[in-house]
Amino acid sequence: MTTNLDGQILEGELRLHGNRLRGVLHLASQEQQVILDLTVVNPSGLEGCAFYFTAPDTGQESKKENKLHLAPEQIGPLGTCCLCGPKDESQTPDGLEYDCLFIEWYSQNGHITFRIQNPFIEYLHGSQPVESSSTPEDLYFTQSILARTEIHSPIPTPLSADQRPDVMAEIIEMDNWIESGDPGTSVREQFKPRLNPAPPNTLFDGQLEDELKILLAQLARLAITLEWCEHFNTRTAYEYLVNTVLNEHCFAGFLPFHSVRHFSTWDDCPECQAEFDDELEGRYA
């Protein structure tokens, strides 16, 4: 199922840093801003992008009553992000009116898309214009990929807003679990059927991008995300997810709309550890 945010986005800001697209969205239907922390498997065309955007005033305020229950911090893989235009090539990159801004991703809420017609784009200091596209309807998460992504249902199933217990109740339950010494349930066991992605050594390089995005999308339903360092690539990131993250034991009662579990490769990366040691040695030499 796809959640379409067309007409709901008033303004926002997006920045690409490493393999993350971070930003904020201001929705007409939500008083609180929605934070984006999306994984970019292939940043081609987005390198150095950082821009603020506003939607034209087309009556979005009237949609305030269309309440959307989005997780406040959206994590998961970016599918498509493109700008079409600009309308007037003579304008400077400091401020351009484009034909369309289109973004899709897969998060705790599943597949999400939004399209803004005639947005105003203001590039932030030091950023590079995003490559322009002419095909904003090209979804990464096609129906065939969505079918593979959603075949595994995480436990617990994300609850609707009126069913969710308060945050303190979950914190107390987690504290009780920690004190009990219960080892918990592995991440892969928190899915039905059990999550068993393809072994890394069985995949060709051309298959890895799809498999990595699908796995990140499945983990997003449990509010689990991975950020990898510059020493990792698509293959080693996939290997880390399959061999390390999926075997982590954790609290099974965690509700994905309240908070996010962040994994990173830095502690397990020899190059990162060597750089850290060199920095410490230089600082205290």
Q: What is the mean pLDDT of the chain?
A: 82
**How far is the C-alpha of 33 from the C-alpha of 9, rounded, in Å?**
10
Report the pLDDT averaged over residues 86-94. 56
Domain layout of the chain by residue ranges? 2-141, 153-273
Pairwise CA distance, residues 143 & 270, whole Å: 39
Q: Residue 91's pLDDT band (boundaries 50, 70, 90)?
A: low
**How many residues make up the chain in this entry?**
285
Q: Looking at the predicted structure, is the pLDDT value of residue 122 above 60?
A: yes
Q: Determine contact, residues 63/148, Cβ cutoff 8 Å.
A: no
Residue bearing tokens 């965690």: 254
pLDDT digits (tens, 9 = 90+) for 134-143: 665 678 898 8
Written as one letter, the residue type at 158 is: P
Per the listing, tokens 């269309």 go with 66
Q: Read off the pLDDT band of 97 (50, 70, 90).
A: confident
pLDDT at 58: 58
Residues 101-108 have a mean pLDDT of 92
- How many CA atoms, within 13 angstroms, populate the side-chain half-sphere of residue 142? 3
Q: Is 145 helix (H, G, I), strand (E, B) or coil?
A: helix
Q: Is the pLDDT of residue 217 over 80?
A: yes
**Amino acid of residue 128:** Q
Determine the residue type at 234: T
Local structure of 219: helix, strand or coil: helix
What's the pLDDT tens digit per position in 7-56?
Answer: 899 999 999 888 899 999 999 877 778 999 999 998 776 777 889 999 98
Q: Which residue did the predictor score with more confidence, 258 or 27? A: 27
Burial of residue 103 (CB within 10 Å: 0-12, 13-18, 19+) is buried
d(CA 93, CA 86): 10
Q: Which of 4-8, 103-107, 148-152, 245-249 has the lowest mean pLDDT?
A: 148-152
β strands within the chain, DSSP E:
2-4, 9-17, 20-27, 34-39, 50-54, 73-84, 96-97, 100-107, 110-117, 120-123, 153-154, 185-186, 191-192, 224-227, 249-250, 261-264
- Can you spell out the DSSP letters for 184-210? -EEGGGGEES---PPPGGG--HHHHHH
Round to the nearest angstrom and report the end-to-end CA distance of the chain.
57
